[in-house]
Amino acid sequence: MSARREVGGIYVTHMRGYGINAPIGIAEVSEIALATGVSVHVSHYIGPSDLLIELAEDVASRGINLTFDAYPYRRGCTLLAMATLPPTLLSDVNSEVVAHLVDPDVRADLLANWFPLLTADPDMGPEWPDDMTLAHIAAKEFDWAHGLTVREAADRMGTDSETFTLDVLAASDLEVSAVMKRRHQPPYDELAKLFTHRGHVAGSDGIYIGKNTHRVHGDFREIPAPVYPRAR
């Protein structure tokens, strides 16, 4: 334990909980840091700024060296499967998950029982198909869907958003990413609270593969134009 501390070990983590669940993740991070003596870096520390800052200050008060990165965007970038499929299903390897997605019984169960839960989820809501823009699709037959929302793509196929999601994931062996609009958009001054915290370092958390990528070079549509002072 002391050896890890002496060699400058750093624990970099994608926490178990983000947003309003950040206290759960931070509790585990703190436990690991205190047990090993290492410094901690939390990747894409997102959620209510006041809550996150309070948690960071509490961690620091316990003698833990904590840093974190946060991206300067109000949209997320995620894997479509991770956002739309049950975690229990995703515990299998990709080939097994795809086999489940094309199984008529499993598919029927997902459509009848899982997707209503997704719609009721406070972070997703019934508008989730409108909030997810397809960024990368491995299946060539779905190449036309890049840049469309899930609902737009489903409409073009003449199907519902849930069925389209299962189809595109199965055809792509789950290799589909999406730019996701947060249901509750944080104001820019809310983001600034995190960026000005002493523990913050810049990070993009970008997915570099895709025809409609986000965060790689920045999405300037989301950022107000800066006002520069006039030259004297």
53 shares its domain with 96: no
| Dihedral angle over CA of 68, 71, 74, 79, nearest 10 | -90
83 shares its domain with 177: yes
Boundaries of domain holding 10: 2-73+185-206
Residue 217 lies in a domain: no
126 shares its domain with 158: yes
Residue 135 lies in a domain: yes
Find out whether 171 and 139 touch, Cβ atoms under 8 Å.
yes
82 shares its domain with 177: yes
Q: How many domains does the chain have?
A: 2
Residue 39 lies in a domain: yes
33 shares its domain with 100: no
Q: What is the pLDDT along the chain (232 residues), one digit of tens a residue?
A: 444 666 678 899 988 887 788 999 999 999 999 999 999 999 888 888 899 999 999 999 999 999 998 877 777 778 999 999 999 999 889 999 999 999 999 999 999 999 999 999 988 899 999 999 999 999 999 999 999 999 999 999 999 999 999 999 999 999 999 988 876 677 778 778 888 889 888 776 666 666 666 554 444 444 444 343 444 3
89 shares its domain with 168: yes
Please state whether the predicted TM-score (pTM) of the whole model is above 0.95.
no
116 shares its domain with 201: no
Residue 126 lies in a domain: yes
Residue 173 lies in a domain: yes
Residue 218 token pair: 């920045």
**What are the CB-based long-range contacts (under 8 Å, 24+) for 183-189?**
183/122, 183/123, 183/124, 183/125, 183/127, 183/128, 183/131, 185/74, 186/48, 186/49, 186/74, 188/224
Pairing mode, if any, of strands 75-79 and 176-181? antiparallel
68 shares its domain with 90: no
Find out whether 146 and 167 touch, Cβ atoms under 8 Å.
no
Find out whether 123 and 19 touch, Cβ atoms under 8 Å.
yes
Residue 58 token pair: 């509490």
39 shares its domain with 99: no
64 shares its domain with 156: no
Q: Three-state SS string across 66-82, please?
A: EEEEECCCCEEEEEHHH
Residue 97 lies in a domain: yes
146 shares its domain with 135: yes
